[in-house]
């Protein structure tokens, strides 16, 4: 899979307005023709357009400076200049628009929409505009105004309903392949997932949800260790998280340590990530022969009030129970969101 480009910094400039024209009529049989200079055209605007077709910011890495078209100058015989062509820059849905100078969020694209980021310069007036009863032959015209310009930073956060997280070799890639139609790279070594992978999960009544499989997290991910840290921001829009654990390699007491390890990474990256509802996915149970081990894990998780599900993503066992729990959590999220909106 190609490297996901989820942050770029670009310079944008709207078009300058065209200059007004200074001109006088010089026609036979029309004495004292008077001023006839036309106005300059307005400069083109710069828009940011969010689209479902675009999935990355990679297309904006080819160049760093983007310009809308300048308005043309006014002409003789009161001819007005042509308006400059607008520039439309496409970005994926889920992109945040940040003004680089104050560092503030200007707009957050959560749906398909178009946002004006730079206004074009106004065209200058031609000398015909300045004619009065006392000044019938004005020799002045305005220059066009400059278009707005600024450095902006575009930060993309994937719009996914369900995030899959876990340590290396926990079986995340196998899980997303089992519950969605996506075909992830699966191998018996760490960090098989290099970038977030998106899949579509379909539940009953044709309800569909986007699932994102994140690169494996390790201790210090929030500070740049491993591969997962740079993508943690993509979890911020998720409604629930599936925390996948390789149950076959963990005893009950160590399992809680691993859970805390990942939760600490989430909280250090962004405290709000720790508030997203979790389901503990205890994977690879097909490799466990010790029933007492499973009982100990169950007792420990239930004592802490954690939601969990035993699965074998490879064997496709236990998935119905997991999907039921996912459905319940999503319904709880929808109910809570409706209350917050006062519906």
| Sheet order of strands, 114-118 included | 87-92, 46-51, 114-118
- Rounded-to-integer distance, Cα 216 and Cα 193, Å: 7
Taking the whole predicted model, whether its pTM rises above 0.75 is answered as no
pLDDT (0 to 100) of residue 100: 84
Within a domain: 29: yes
Give the residue among 191, 251, 260, 254 at the shortest CA–CA distance from 219: 260
Residue where a domain stops, chosen among 156, 178, 206: 156
Q: Do both 169 and 260 map to the same domain?
A: yes
Q: Which of 100, 135, 156 is the last residue of a domain?
A: 156
Are residues 93 and 241 both part of a single domain? no
Asked if residue 166 and residue 85 are part of one domain, the reply reads no
pLDDT tens column, 302-321: 888 889 999 999 999 999 99
pLDDT one-digit tens code per residue, 255-300: 888 888 888 888 888 888 888 999 999 999 988 887 888 888 888 8
How many structural domains is the chain composed of? 2
Q: Give a yes or no: residue 1 inside a domain.
A: no
**Tens-place pLDDT, residues 35-58:** 999 999 999 999 999 998 888 899
Mean pLDDT of all residues in the chain? 85
Give the model confidence (pLDDT) of 290-299 as tens digits. 788 888 888 8
Same-domain pairing of 241 and 112: no
258 lies in some domain: yes
Structural domain of 247: 162-341
Q: 59-89 burial, b for 16+ CB within 10 Å, e for fewer?
A: ebeeeeeebbbbbbbbbeebbbbbbbebbeb
Q: Which residue has the tokens 């910011």?
A: 57
* Cross-strand pairs, 213: 164, 197
Q: What CATH number is attached to the domain comprising 303?
A: 3.40.50.300
| Through-space distance between the first and last CA atoms of the chain, rounded to whole angstroms | 42
Residue 322 lies in a domain: yes
Final residue before a domain boundary, out of 115, 135, 156: 156
């Amino acid at each position: 899979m190609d490297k996901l480009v989820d942050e770029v910094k670009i310079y944008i400039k709207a078009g300058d307005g065209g200059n007004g024209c200074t001109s006088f009529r010089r026609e036979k049989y029309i004495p004292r023709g008077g001023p006839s200079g036309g106005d300059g055209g307005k400069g083109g605007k710069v828009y940011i357009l969010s689209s479902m077709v675009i999935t990355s910011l990679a297309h904006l890495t080819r160049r760093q400076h983007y310009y809308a078209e300048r308005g043309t100058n006014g002409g003789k015989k009161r001819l007005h200049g042509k308006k400059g062509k607008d520039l439309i820059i496409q970005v994926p849905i889920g992109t945040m628009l940040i003004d680089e100078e104050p560092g503030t969020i200007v707009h957050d694209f959560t749906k398909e929409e178009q946002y004006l980021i730079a206004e074009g310069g106004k065209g200058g007036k031609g000398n015909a505009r300045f004619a009065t009863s006392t000044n019938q032959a004005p020799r002045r015209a305005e220059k066009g105004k400059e278009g707005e310009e600024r450095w902006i930073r575009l930060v993309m956060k994937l719009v996914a309903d369900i995030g899959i997280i876990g340590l290396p070799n926990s079986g995340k890639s196998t899980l997303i392949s089992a519950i969605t139609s996506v075909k992830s790279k699966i191998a018996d070594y760490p960090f098989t997932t290099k970038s977030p992978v998106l899949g579509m999960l379909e539940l009953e009544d044709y309800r569909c949800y986007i699932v994102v499989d994140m690169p494996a997290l390790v201790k210090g991910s929030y500070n740049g260790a491993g591969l997962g840290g740079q993508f943690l921001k993509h979890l911020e829009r998720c409604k629930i998280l599936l925390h996948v654990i390789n149950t076959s390699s963990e005893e009950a007491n160590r399992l809680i340590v691993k859970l805390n390890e990942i939760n600490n990474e989430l909280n250090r990256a962004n405290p709000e990530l720790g508030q997203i509802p979790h389901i503990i996915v205890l994977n690879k149970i097909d490799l466990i022969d010790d029933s007492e081990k499973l009982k100990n894990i169950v007792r420990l998780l239930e004592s802490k009030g954690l939601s969990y599900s035993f699965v074998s993503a490879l064997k496709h066992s236990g998935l119905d129970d997991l999907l039921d729990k996912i459905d319940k959590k999503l319904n709880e999220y929808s109910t809570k969101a409706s209350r917050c909106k006062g519906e």
